[in-house]
Amino acid sequence: MTNSPDTISPEAIGKAFAPVPRGLGAILGFAPWLVVVALIGTALVVGGYISTVVAFALIYALFVSGLNVFMGLTAQVSFGHNAFAAIGGYTSAVLTTAYDWSPIAAMGAGLAGALALAAVIGWPTLRLKGHYLSMGTLAIGLITYEIAVQWTSVTQGYMGISGIPSLGIGRFEAVSDRQILVVLTLTAALGAWCVARIRRSRFGRALAAIAGSEEAARALGIDVASYKLASFLISAGYASIAGSLFVHVVGYVSPEVFGLHMVILAFTMLYVGGIGTVVGPLVGALLVSMLPETFRGFRDYQDLAYGAALIAILVYAPRGLAGLAELFRKDAP
């Protein structure tokens, strides 16, 4: 495929060097962070059901933050990151239940496995562009799902694995809702901080150059293939950790958890929050997770609402909520 301008995302370009906003733009720039802090704060204080919802949202926030490195900062596309979440999640589940590993060690093993797979499949896959890349990654996600269903001796197929221990390091174990929430908040914050650092670094600027134009980046002496692979590995690592956290928080895993639904949900979050921004994945994950809770009586309508909302956002607000600030910045002289 050609590297024509419409195969890349203009949304991602130039964000890293935007000037510091003033006035209304500055206020709107902080608004998403306030929403994030307010929602997590409420969950910490109130506890109970809302803290469960926010806990899921934070796990997804980590997953989406990683996806954002690959899609937002590098302007590539992956419909298959659920594969890496599945590897992290299943490795954690199997090692902690069948082999009595500690959660942290199992998470590390899952991370190593996900990175190894990402390196092996990333090399041929990342040469693809446009809809070929989309389909290649989608296929990887779907194959992983099939394997999770069929490899019953390890994954127990549709039955799933239950009795997974909660998160813990050494003698500390996060059992209560609040403890889990604190651990997840710290993890998600660390994840977001790393994305912010990456975006401002030399590495991040190289990714932005690749996002702008691969040919131009290559002409500037950037090793495009290696940087794309590195970006893919980082996002796969985030996905794997998110998968591990998920199985420990829920205590149960089945193939459905890491199905196509996960991909669609993550894309919705990424676009609601704002692709290519640091806060976007956090605010997107929190808002999208809170939304269906308000319509909890209508479970059947949830996917319908997700789909319709995703279309509306893609068509009318392609830069998401975190992009609102820029809308006003453009008007300013």
- Interacting residues toward another protein by CB under 8 A: 1, 5-11, 71, 75, 77, 79, 124-125, 128, 130-136, 138-140, 142-143, 146-147, 149-150, 260, 264, 267, 300-301, 303-304, 306-308, 310-311, 314-316, 318
Our CB check for another protein shows the closer of 30 and 298 to be 298
Q: Are 3 and 215 in contact (CB under 8 A)?
A: yes
Our CB check for another protein shows the closer of 116 and 312 to be 312
Our CB check for another protein shows the closer of 293 and 303 to be 303
Amino acid found at 69? V
Residues with Cβ within 8 Å of 271's Cβ and at least 6 positions away in sequence, in order, are 284, 310, 313, 314, 318, 320
**What is residue 302's three-state secondary structure?**
helix
Residue 304 CB, shortest distance to another protein, in Å, is: 4
Distance CA 48, CA 295 (A): 18
Residue 45 CB, shortest distance to another protein, in Å, is: 35
**What is residue 274's three-state secondary structure?**
coil
Q: What's the Cα-to-Cα distance from 223 to each of 95, 117, 203, 209, 214, rounded to whole Å?
A: 37, 21, 11, 11, 10
Residues with Cβ within 8 Å of 280's Cβ and at least 6 positions away in sequence, in order, are 32, 68, 72, 270, 273, 274, 320, 321, 322
**What is residue 318's three-state secondary structure?**
coil
Residue 177 CB, shortest distance to another protein, in Å, is: 31
Our CB check for another protein shows the closer of 248 and 319 to be 319
Residue 92 CB, shortest distance to another protein, in Å, is: 24
**How many CA atoms does the CB half-sphere of 196 hold within 13 Å?**
10
DSSP string for 70-88: IIIIT----S-THHHHHHH
Closest CA to 85 of 196, 247, 219, 212: 247
Our CB check for another protein shows the closer of 238 and 267 to be 267
Closest CA to 272 of 304, 300, 308, 242: 308
Our CB check for another protein shows the closer of 147 and 182 to be 147
Residue 273 CB, shortest distance to another protein, in Å, is: 15
Element containing residue 69 per DSSP (H, E): none
Residue 4 CB, shortest distance to another protein, in Å, is: 9
Residue 201 CB, shortest distance to another protein, in Å, is: 24
Our CB check for another protein shows the closer of 129 and 178 to be 129
Our CB check for another protein shows the closer of 74 and 244 to be 74
Residue 3 CB, shortest distance to another protein, in Å, is: 11
